[in-house]
Amino acid sequence: MFVCVLSCFCVRVSRPPVCQPYSHGAMNLSGPHPSYPQQYGVQPSMQQMTNQMSGMQVGSGPLTSAGPGYAPPPSSEPPISAAYSAAAPPSYTQAPHPVSGAPSQPPPPSEPAAPQPYYDGPPPSQQQPFPSSAPPPSQPFPSSSPYSGPPPSSQPRAPAVSRQQSFPPGPPPPVQQTFPNSAPPPVSQALYSGPPPSSQPGPFPPTFASPAQYPAAQPPSQPGPPHFHSGPPPQCPMPPPSMSQQQANPLPPGPMQQPPQPGMQGGYPTQQNGAFGQPRGPQPGYAGPQYPGQQNYGAGPAPTPAPTQKRLDPDSIPSPQASELPAVQKFRHRIDPDAIPSPIQVIEDDRANKSSEPFTTGVKGQTPPLVTTNFQVKDQGNASPRFVRCTAYNIPCTADMAKQSQVPLAAVIKPLAMLPPDETRPYVVDHGEAGPIRCNRCKAYMCPYMQFIEGGRRFQCGFCSCVTDVPPHYFQHLDHTGKRVDCCDRPELSLGSYEFVATVDYCKNNKLPQPPSFIFFIDVSYNAVKSGMVNIVCQELKTLLDYLPRENPEADSVVRVGFVTYNKVLHFYNVKSSLAQPQMMVVSDVSDMFLPLLDGFLVNVNDSRVVIESLLDQIPEMFADTRETETVFGPVIQAGLEALKAADCAGKLFLFHSSLPIAEAPGKLKNREDKKLVGTDKEKSLIQPQSGFYSNLSKECVAQGCCVDLFLFPNQYVDVATLGVVPVSTGGSVYKYTYFQAEMDRERFLNDLRRDVQKPMGFDAVMRVRTSTGIRATDFFGSFFMSNTTDVELAGLDCDKTVTVEFRHDDKLSEDTGALMQCAVLYTSCSGQRRLRVHNMAVNCCSQLADLYRNCETDTIINFFSKYAYRSLLNTPTKTVRDTLVNQCAQILACYRKNCASPSSAGQLILPECMKLLPVYLNCVLKSDVLQPGADVSVDDRAYLRQLLSCMDVSESHVFFYPRLLPLVKLDGGSLPMAVRNSEERLSKGGVYLLETGLYLFLWVGANAQQELLSNIFGTPTFSQIDPNMTSLPELDNPFSQRLREIIDSFRSQRSRYMKLMVVKQEDKAELIFKHFLCEDKSASGGASYVDFLCHMHKEIRQLLS
Amino acid sequence: MATYQEFIQQNEDRDGVRFSWNLWPSSRLEATRLVVPVSCLFTPLKERPDLPPVQYEPVLCSRANCKAVLNPLCQVDYRAKIWACNFCFQRNPFPPSYAGISDVNQPAELMPQFSTIEYIVQRGPPNPLIFLYVVDTCLEEEDLQALKESLQMSLSLLPPNALVGLITFGRMVQVHELSCEGIAKSYVFRGTKELSSKQIQEMLGLTNPSASGPQGRPAAPQDPAVTCRFLQPVHKVDMNLTDLLGELQRDPWPVPQGKRPLRSTGIALSIAVGLLEGTFPNTGARVMMFMGGPPTQGPGMVVGDELKTPIRSWHDITKDNARHLKKATKYYDALANRAAVNGHSIDIYACALDQTGLLEMKCLSNLTGGHIAMGDSFNTSLFKQTFQRVFSKDHNGEFRMAFGGTLEVSTSRELKVSGAIGPCVSLKAKGPCISENEVGVGGTTQWKICSLSPSTTLALYFEVVNQHNAPIPQGGRGAVQFVTQYQHSNTQRRIRVTTVARNWADAQSQIQHIESSFDQEASAVIMARLGVFRAESEEGPDVLRWLDRQLIRLFMFHLRRSPFLQVFNNSPDECSYYRHHFVRQDLTQSLIMIQPILYSYSFHGPPEPVLLDSGSILPDRILLMDTFFQLVIYHGETIAQWRKAGYQEQPEYENFKHLLVAPVDDAQEILQTRFPMPRYIDTEHGGSQARFLLSKVNPSQTHNNLYSWGQETGAPILTDDVSLQVFMDHLKKLAVSSAA
C-alpha cells in the first residue's frame, strides 16, 4: 500500500495559470505547454512541473496532523500515495513535514515510538499474507532494520543529519513506521498531501496508512488523509518561491533526490522508508560526487537555492548531506525526482525482504517476489513464478469489478523455463498405456485441484466440477481428510508443475514422433560472404554440432542435421557418411520449391562428421568470389519445410540471412521503407507484413512442426516485419546484427547462435490453457500460431519463450473457491519423446477492489500492456495506442483512488503500493523505440523490437523497459553494487557505470573518472586512451577487473541473448545512444521525463475522478 | 551391256542409290499406272573408302532458286569457261580458280566416275562432338552397375576433345556440373514441372548476365566459360566423370509397395534439349538416354506409378483407353522437333522387361536420326555391345557417325520431289521442284538428318510431272542431285554431292524396257517404307488393305506378317522399335527385316539358304535364321539329341562338332557387324525359344493341314495364319478379278 503522494500543484493551483495545461485545472503549470504529449517533449514541461511541484507540497499538510495522524497514516493506507498535487512537489521537498506520508507520521517521526504503534497495526496484516515473514519485521520495527537493511541505515542517518538540522525528530520515525507497513507489502495509498507531507518525511508513513489493507490501519488512515491534505497548504507557501527557482533550474536532479525519498516511502510504508533510505544509500554513494555532478548537469542553479527549510526535512531525510539542502531549494520549483516512486527502491526492498526465504507456492493468492529478486521456489501445488506469473493474484469476483478496475487479468507463462540448479525440474509422470488421467468433460489433466470422492473411486474436476471415475490402476484410498494416501508420492497430486508421458494418442497421425532435425541455411550472397558471416558460421558449426540438445547429457544427441546454402538459388548438400566428398545439389527452380534429395540430407552428426567438416571447410571457399547479390527467402523456408515433411519429423531451421529478398521467387519483397509514413495513420503499414505469403507459409510450417530461427545480417532495410512473420508464428526467434562486422560482432553472434542451438526446446507443441468456470482465456500473445481460439500451436517452444494469456470473466467467481488455471503443453522433446507439461495455478478471488490492488504485480502488468500495445500497432495508429495505454493506466489508478484510497485532496496523486511504479514503467513503454521512434530508429529496428518483445518474460521485459544502471564503485564481495535510477543526473563525472538493457551492455565512463578506476578497468589511467570500440574488457589481474568481468558475464548468462558491451565515454558521440536508455529523462525523440509523465498521469486521473 | 542387275549393283556401290525403276516413264499418266512410283533408296554417307574428299568448295549454279552443284552431267564450254546447269539450264561462268580448266584438265567433279564426290569446306570454327548422357537411376542395383560400367567405358571411346555432359534422373532430374573441384555439384529439377527452354537456361545459370559482369555480353552461347560447367572436354574431366559415374546412386526416394518408381524422363529430356539448345545450337550433338522403365511422372509420362495399372497395350490403344498416349506423344514430338531444328540427335537405350514407352518416344529418335536400342537389361551383352558399337570406327579410325546433316534434292524439270521417308525432318525449303503430291515427309526439297551413319538410308519419292502430250525426246535423261552437308566426326564440315540420271522411256512403246528396269528389291523396301509410314499414322488393317491393293510380289507376304505392319504378338514398343530400324536401314538389311534369311547346316552338304518355310525345319538340320533383330540357331530334333548325348565331345565325331560350330561362327560374323546388336538365340527343337523361328516361317504345314501334306518333312506350325501358298492363290484371284 504505497501511497505516493505527489502533490502536484496543489495549492498552487490557483496561482500559476501555467499549470493549466498540465494539470487539471488545478495545476498551476506555467502555461506554455498545452498538450500533454508536447509537453513531454519539451523541457519546459519539466520546469513547469517543477514549478508546479514546487507549488505543491507532497507533504500531507498535516504535519501536525501527523502527530495525531499517527493513526491516520495507516488509514491513509500504507500505500505510497504519491500525491501529485499541483503543489505537491514542494511538498516533498520542502516540507519536512510534508514528507509525504509524513503527515500522519511525520509527527510521529519525531518519535520513534510512533512507528511502533504502526507496527502493531501492520503486523497482523503482514501475517496474513506472509505469516512467517511478515511478523518479525513489523515488530522489530527497530528490528525492521534487517529488512530494510539498507534503508534504515541510510534513512536514519540521513534523517538524522538533515532532520537534526531541519526536523530532527520528524523524519526518522516516519520512516520506521513506514517500514512496518511496507512489510506487509501491499499497498498503499500514500497520501501525500501536497504540502505537508513533503515537509516531513513523515508523509511516507502516511503512506502506510492504507487502511484498506490493514484493517487496523485503515481507521487511522482515513482520518489521516484529511490531515494530510490539510497539511499541504502549509507547504504551498513554499512552492511559490520554488517555482521561480525551478524555472531557473531546469534540472530536476538536485531536488529530485530529496523528494524521491518521500515518494518512495509513500510506496511501501516501511519499505518505502527503507526505500527512501536506500535511494539515499546510493546517493550517498554518489552523494559526494553526485551532488556536484548534479550541479554540473542541471543543478548548477539548484545549489544556490539551496536551503529551504521545509524541504530540508524531507530532503534531508533522504539525502544525508548538506548538499541536499541546496537541492531542496531547487526543489521547490519542481517535483523532486527523489520524491517520486523509485524503481530502485522497490527492487531493493523486495530483494531485501524476499530473497532470504524460499518462496513457497502453496498459498493461494500470494504475490511472488519481483523478477529482480533472487529467490528460491518451493513447489507446493502451484506453478513456480518462473513458469507462470500473473498480473493479479486476487482476481475480482465479477466482470464488473474487473472492468471497473481496468487491471488486466493475465498470466505470463514460460512453459519450458529453465530452473536454477537448486530447484528440481518438473517430474515426469507416466500413467501407463491409457495416457494421463483427465477429466471426462473439460479434459483437464490430473492435478492437485481434483477432489477425490466416494472413497477415492471417483474424482471431481476442480475446473468444471464434472465427476469422473478413477481408473482401477490409479485407484488409491483416501485418508481421513479426504486426500489420497499417495498424495505426496505423486507429483500430479502435490505439485504445481510436472510432466506426463504422452501416449500415441497424443501424436500426430497416431504415430510416435521421430527425433527432430536441425537444418542450417546459410546465405552465401555477396554481402553475406563479405561481412565474414559465412566464414564464421561455417567455422562455428564444426564445433557447435557437438552440442546439439539432448536429454541425457551422457548420450549423443539424436537430432539430425542438414545444410543448405543459398543466394538466389538453393544449394543442398548430400553429406551421407558413405561419401568421400559432400555433394552439392543446386535447385534453381525457386518458384516451386522441392527437396532434391532425401537420403544423405539429414544425417547424424557423428556418422557423417568427416563429410560435414569437409563441407563446412569448403563452403567459404566455394563462394569466396561470388558476385551474386540477390537472395531469395520464401523458398528457403519452403525447402526446410519440404525436408522436414520428407523426413516426417519436426525440427528447426536456422537461417543466416543478409538482405532483402528481391530475386524473382515466391515471397519476393519490395523495399517499402518510407520514413515519411512514421507518425501518420499509414504507419501501421510499415509494421504489417508486405504480403500474405509468409503467413500462409507459417501455417504450413506449424502444421509440420517446423520452427524457424532467423539470424539477420542486414546492411540496409530488409523488412524485418515481413521476414519475421514465419519465425514469430512458429515459435522461433529473430536475431539481428545490423552492419555486421566480423571482428566487432563475432562474439555476440556466436554466443547467440550457441545458445540458440543448445537450448532445450520442445517441438510441434500445442498449448492449451484451461480455467475454472467463471473465467476464460481469451487472448494470447507470443510467438505462435492459432488456428482456433483455444489452441496455441508452437512449431517450436524453447526455454526462453513466453506466452502471455489474457483472461476475462464469463461468469461470477466465488471467493471460496478462487480461480484455477491449468496450462498444458504437449510437445516433442529433443529426443523425440512426446510429453505433456502441466502448470497449475490457483489464485484468489476477491470482492473488494482493495484486495486486487494489493495483490498485483506491476512488472507483469507492464509486460502485458507492452505486448498488447505492440500488437495493437498492427491495426491502430501509434498515437491511439499510446493514448489507450495512458488511459487504461489512468483508469486503473483512478479506480484505486476512488474506491480504495482514503479521501484526500484532489491535488494528491495516490498510487497503490503494488503499482506505484506503474507510471514510470508505463512511461518507459511509451518512450520505447517502438511506440515513439526517434529519427534514428529504422523501421526494421522497430519491427525487430516489436517481435522481440512479444515473447519476453517478465524479467526480460523489465530490464528492457527499465534498464539496470550500476555504479562501479566498490566491487568487493559477492554482491552487486546497488543500482541507481536511470537518469543522467544520477551519473557522476567521476564514476564509471554499467548499464544493462537486456540487449546491450554499456560501460559509461565519466570524464573525470579516477585514474585508479580506469587503470583497474582498462589498464590505462588516461581517459583519452580508452578505446571506445572495444567489445570486451581487457583481462587485467586485479580484483576490480576480475569482479567487473564476472558481473558482466553473469549478466550475460541471465539473458537469452548475448549482450554486446559498448564502452561509452562521456561526451563522446556514442553517448547519445547511451542516454537513450536513461529512461527517466526526457528522451531525444520527445518522450517525457518521469516527472513530467507523472504529472500528466495525475492530470489524467484527476480528470477521470472529476 | 551389263544386265540391269549389274547396273543396279554398280550404281548402288558408287552412289548409294537404288531406284524402283531404272527407266522412267515419260509422262505423269504412265507413271501413275505403274503403281510403284519413281522413287529411290538413297544412302547419303555410303562408305566409299575409295573416294578421297576434295579440299575445296563446290561450284554452285548461280540461279538463286537452283543452286545445283557442278557435276559430270553438266555441259561445259571449256573455252568460254562456262558451264550450263543441267537442272535449270542456267549458264554459269567458272569461278576464277578454275581458270586452268580444259577438256584434258578437268576438275574431279566433272569426271563421270565422280558422280558422287565429297568436298571438305572450311566454315566457322570446328565444332567438337557433343555427347550428353541422360541416365535413369531408377534401376536395379545390378543394372545400374552394368550401365555405369558401360558409360565409364564409353569415355575411353570418345575423342579427347569431345564434350561430354551428364544428366541423371529419377524422381528428380540432376544436371551435373563437371568442372568443379572438390564438391560434386549438380543442378536439380523437379520431375513434374515443364519448363521452357529459357527457364532451363536461366536456372542453369547459362544466361545470367550478372555472371558475365561488365564486359558486355560474353554470355554468347559458345562462350566456353559458361557452357563448360556442364559440357566438358573428355580429356579434362574423364577422371572426374568416372568418379561421378562410379558414385551414382540408385534414386533414393522410397518406392512404396505396389508402385513404380517415379521417373521424370520427360523433364530430363527437355532439360537435355534445352541445355544444348542454349549452348550449342546448330552443332552436332548426341543426347544418349538410358532408361530402365517407362516415364511415370511429369509431362511425357506414359503410365502412372500404380503397378496395378499396366502400361498401355495395342488393345488399350485401339479402345482409346491409353490415357497418356496422346499427351505424351505430343510432348515428345515437340521435343524431337526442337532437337531436330538444332541438329541434335537423341538416342534411346531402353532396357527393361516391360515396355518403356518407346511408342510415345519413338519420334525423338526417328526425327533426329538417333538410335533406339531395346533390351531386357543393361547387364546383357545385347546392350553392352550395341552401345559399344555406337562408337565404332571406320578404317580411318573415325567414328561411323556424322552430325547435323542436311540433304537437298534437285531434280530436272520433268521430275518433282514428293517426299522422303527416313530419319529426317523437313527443313521446309521451298523450291521449284516440289511436288504437290506429298509422300512421306514432303513439301520441301531439304531435309535435316541430325545424325547419320554409313547405313542411314532414306527413301525418296518422286513424281513425274511431264504431261502426256509433251513427249520427251528419245534419249532424254532425267537427273537427280543429292547434296548432303554434314559435320564429320572429325569435326570437319563436308558436302557430299551425288548426281544421277536415268533415261526417260515412253511407257506405251517401251513398256518391256521399263518392266525390265524394275528393281524388285528396292521397290519392295520402298513400298514397305511407305506402308510403315502409313502404319504409323493410320490404323493397321487399313494399311494392310492399302498394301494388298498395291501389287506386290513375294516380299509382301512376309511384310504383311512382319512386326512392321502386324501388331499382333508385338507390344507397341516393339513395333515402334522395329519400325524405327526399318525406315533407316539400307536395302540389304531392310530385306532381311522383311523376309528373314534362313540357312541350313547339315551333313548333306555345305550350308545353304533354304526357304523360309515350315517345310525347311527338319530333324537333321541346324537352321540359322537372321531376322535382323534376332539370330536364331535352331537345332533339329535329331541334332539336338546328339548334342545332348555329347557326341561332339568325342574325337570320332569331330565332324559333328564342326557342324555344330559352323552356324555359331556364321552368327558371330553377323553379330560383329550388325547394329543394333541382334538378340542371339540358341535353341533346339521343342525349345521354348524355338517360337522365334516358328513364328517367322511360312506356315505351309499347320495343325489344320498337317495330314494333307507329306509327313516326311517339316514341322507343323500351330497357327491360323494362311500360308504363302494360300496367299498367292488369293492374290492371283484378286489380280484377275480386279483386272476384270
Q: Is the Cβ of A648 closer than 8 Å to some Cβ of chain B? A: no
What is the band of A619 on the pLDDT scale with cuts at 50, 70, 90? very high
Rounded Cα–Cα distance for residues B379 and B391 (Å): 19
Q: State the best of A576, A583, A591, A599 to mutate against chain B, taking most chain B CBs within 10 Å.
A: A583
**pLDDT at residue A524 tops 70:** yes
The phi and psi torsions of A478 (rounded to 5 degrees) equal: -100, 155
Read out DSSP for B592-655?
HHHS-EEEEEETTEEEEE--SBGGG--TT-EEEEE-SSEEEEEE-HHHHHHHHHTGGGSGGGHH
What is the band of B695 on the pLDDT scale with cuts at 50, 70, 90? confident
User: What is the reported pLDDT for B489?
Assistant: 86
**pLDDT at residue B247 tops 70:** yes
Beta bridge partners of A771: A821
**pLDDT at residue A773 tops 50:** yes
User: What is the reported pLDDT for A147?
Assistant: 39
Kindly provide the b/e burial profile for residues B417-455, where b requires at least 16 CB atoms within 10 angstroms of the residue's own CB.
bbbbbbbbbbeeeebebbbebebbbbebbbbbbbbbbbb
Higher pLDDT pick, A323 / A543: A543
User: What is the reported pLDDT for B480?
Assistant: 93
Cell numbers 494392310: residue? B544
Q: Range with the lowest mean pLDDT among A252-266, A627-641, B473-487, B611-625?
A: A252-266
Q: Range with the lowest mean pLDDT among A910-924, B202-216, B382-396?
A: B202-216
Q: Are A1067 and A1007 in contact (CB under 8 A)?
A: yes
Q: Range with the lowest mean pLDDT among A44-53, A507-516, A852-861, B411-420?
A: A44-53
**Beta-sheet strands, E only, within A588-741:** 603-604, 651-657, 706-712, 734-736
For residue A681, what is the DSSP state? G
Residues within 8 A of A (CB atoms), B 100-119 only: none
What is the band of A184 on the pLDDT scale with cuts at 50, 70, 90? very low
Is the CB of A585 less than 8 angstroms away from the CB of B187? yes
Q: Is the Cβ of B185 closer than 8 Å to some Cβ of chain A? A: yes
Is the CB of A592 less than 8 angstroms away from the CB of B249? no
Residues A851-866: tens digit of each pLDDT: 999 999 999 999 999 9
Is the CB of B247 less than 8 angstroms away from the CB of A579? yes
Q: Are B626 and B591 in contact (CB under 8 A)?
A: no
Q: Which residue of A has its CA nearest to B250?
A: A599
Rounded Cα–Cα distance for residues B326 and A538 (Å): 51
Higher pLDDT pick, A122 / A942: A942
Q: Are B18 and B41 in contact (CB under 8 A)?
A: yes
Rounded Cα–Cα distance for residues B237 and B215 (Å): 28
**pLDDT at residue A439 tops 80:** yes
Cell numbers 562428421: residue? A609
Rounded Cα–Cα distance for residues B1 and A1015 (Å): 122
Share of chain B above pLDDT 90, in %: 36
**pLDDT at residue B218 tops 50:** no
CA distance to partner chain A, nearest, from residue B60 (Å): 49
Q: Is the Cβ of B204 closer than 8 Å to some Cβ of chain A? A: yes
Q: Is the Cβ of A610 closer than 8 Å to some Cβ of chain B? A: no
A683, three cell numbers: 504507419
Residues within 8 A of B (CB atoms), A 541-580 only: 569, 571-573, 579
SS3 for A723-743 is: HCHHHHHCCCCEEECCCCCHH
What is the band of B704 on the pLDDT scale with cuts at 50, 70, 90? low
User: What is the reported pLDDT for A743?
Assistant: 87
CA distance to partner chain B, nearest, from residue A1008 (Å): 56
Q: Range with the lowest mean pLDDT among A245-249, A796-800, B139-143, B509-513?
A: A245-249
User: What's at A216, amino acid-wise?
Assistant: A
Q: State the best of A588, A610, A611, A629 to mutate against chain B, taking most chain B CBs within 10 Å.
A: A588
Which of A569, A589, A622 minimises the CB distance to B183? Answer: A622
Q: Range with the lowest mean pLDDT among A619-623, A826-830, B467-471?
A: B467-471
Is the CB of A618 less than 8 angstroms away from the CB of B182? yes
Rounded Cα–Cα distance for residues A447 and A465 (Å): 13
Is the CB of B187 less than 8 angstroms away from the CB of A581? no
User: What's at A403, amino acid-wise?
Assistant: K
Q: Is the Cβ of B475 closer than 8 Å to some Cβ of chain A? A: no
At A609, which helix (H) or strand (E)? helix A609-622
Q: Is the Cβ of A615 closer than 8 Å to some Cβ of chain B? A: yes
Is the CB of A592 less than 8 angstroms away from the CB of B190? yes
**pLDDT at residue B227 tops 60:** no
- What is the ipTM for the molecules in this complex? 0.84
- Give me the half-sphere count of Cα atoms (radius 13 Å) on the Cβ side of residue B637: 8
What is the band of A753 on the pLDDT scale with cuts at 50, 70, 90? very high
User: What is the reported pLDDT for A74?
Assistant: 37
Residues A381-424: tens digit of each pLDDT: 999 999 999 999 999 999 999 999 999 999 999 999 999 998 98
What is the band of A189 on the pLDDT scale with cuts at 50, 70, 90? very low
Residues B460-500: tens digit of each pLDDT: 999 998 887 877 777 788 999 999 999 988 888 899 999 99
A618, three cell numbers: 569448403
Q: Is the Cβ of A478 closer than 8 Å to some Cβ of chain B? A: no
Q: Which residue of A has its CA nearest to B176?
A: A585
Over residues A134-141, the mean pLDDT reads: 38
Share of chain A above pLDDT 90, in %: 45
Is the CB of B203 less than 8 angstroms away from the CB of A594? no
B339, three cell numbers: 532437337
Q: Is the Cβ of A662 closer than 8 Å to some Cβ of chain B? A: no
Over residues B535-563, the mean pLDDT reads: 69
Q: Which residue of B has its CA nearest to A619?
A: B183
Rounded Cα–Cα distance for residues B675 and A897 (Å): 104
What is the band of B549 on the pLDDT scale with cuts at 50, 70, 90? low
Q: Is the Cβ of A583 closer than 8 Å to some Cβ of chain B? A: yes
Share of chain A above pLDDT 70, in %: 70
Instruction: Report CA Rg, chain B.
Output: 27
Is the CB of B186 less than 8 angstroms away from the CB of A586? yes
Which of A586, A594, A621 minimises the CB distance to B185? Answer: A586
CA distance to partner chain A, nearest, from residue B166 (Å): 14
For residue A366, what is the DSSP state? P
Least Cα distance to A957 among A372, A418, A374 occurs for A372
Beta bridge partners of A992: A1005
Is the CB of A597 less than 8 angstroms away from the CB of B172? yes
The three-class DSSP label of residue A445 is strand
Collect all residues with Cβ–Cβ distance below 8 Å to B703 and sequence separation of at least 6. Answer: B716, B717, B718
Higher pLDDT pick, A220 / A974: A974
Rounded Cα–Cα distance for residues A1037 and B615 (Å): 112
* Helices then strands, each counted (H, E), chain A: 47, 30
Q: State the best of A577, A591, A597, A618 to mutate against chain B, taking most chain B CBs within 10 Å.
A: A597
User: What is the reported pLDDT for B540?
Assistant: 61
Residues A555-581: tens digit of each pLDDT: 888 999 999 999 999 999 999 998 888
Q: Are A203 and A196 in contact (CB under 8 A)?
A: yes
**pLDDT at residue B86 tops 80:** yes
Residues B38-79: tens digit of each pLDDT: 999 999 999 888 888 998 889 999 888 888 999 999 989 888
**pLDDT at residue A288 tops 70:** no
**Beta-sheet strands, E only, within B44-115:** 75-77, 82-84, 91-93
Is the CB of A587 less than 8 angstroms away from the CB of B174? no
Least Cα distance to A588 among B249, B423, B574, B201 occurs for B201
What is the band of A32 on the pLDDT scale with cuts at 50, 70, 90? very low
Least Cα distance to B128 among B370, B403, B451, B396 occurs for B403
pTM (predicted TM-score):
0.78
Q: Are A61 and A228 in contact (CB under 8 A)?
A: yes
Collect all residues with Cβ–Cβ distance below 8 Å to B288 and sequence separation of at least 6. Answer: B131, B132, B133, B134, B347, B349, B390
What is the band of B551 on the pLDDT scale with cuts at 50, 70, 90? low
Residues B323-381: tens digit of each pLDDT: 899 999 999 999 999 999 888 999 999 999 999 999 999 999 999 999 999 999 999 98
Q: Which residue of B has its CA nearest to A621?
A: B182
Which of A581, A587, A592 minimises the CB distance to B188? Answer: A587
Length of chain A: 1106
Least Cα distance to A66 among A192, A152, A179, A183 occurs for A192
Over residues A521-534, the mean pLDDT reads: 94
The phi and psi torsions of A265 (rounded to 5 degrees) equal: -55, -45
Is the CB of A589 less than 8 angstroms away from the CB of B193? yes
Q: Which residue of B has its CA nearest to A594?
A: B190
Q: Is the Cβ of A486 closer than 8 Å to some Cβ of chain B? A: no
Q: Are B445 and B434 in contact (CB under 8 A)?
A: yes
Is the CB of B185 less than 8 angstroms away from the CB of A583? yes
What is the band of A426 on the pLDDT scale with cuts at 50, 70, 90? very high
Q: Which residue of B has its CA nearest to A627?
A: B211
Q: Is the Cβ of A596 closer than 8 Å to some Cβ of chain B? A: yes
**pLDDT at residue A199 tops 80:** no
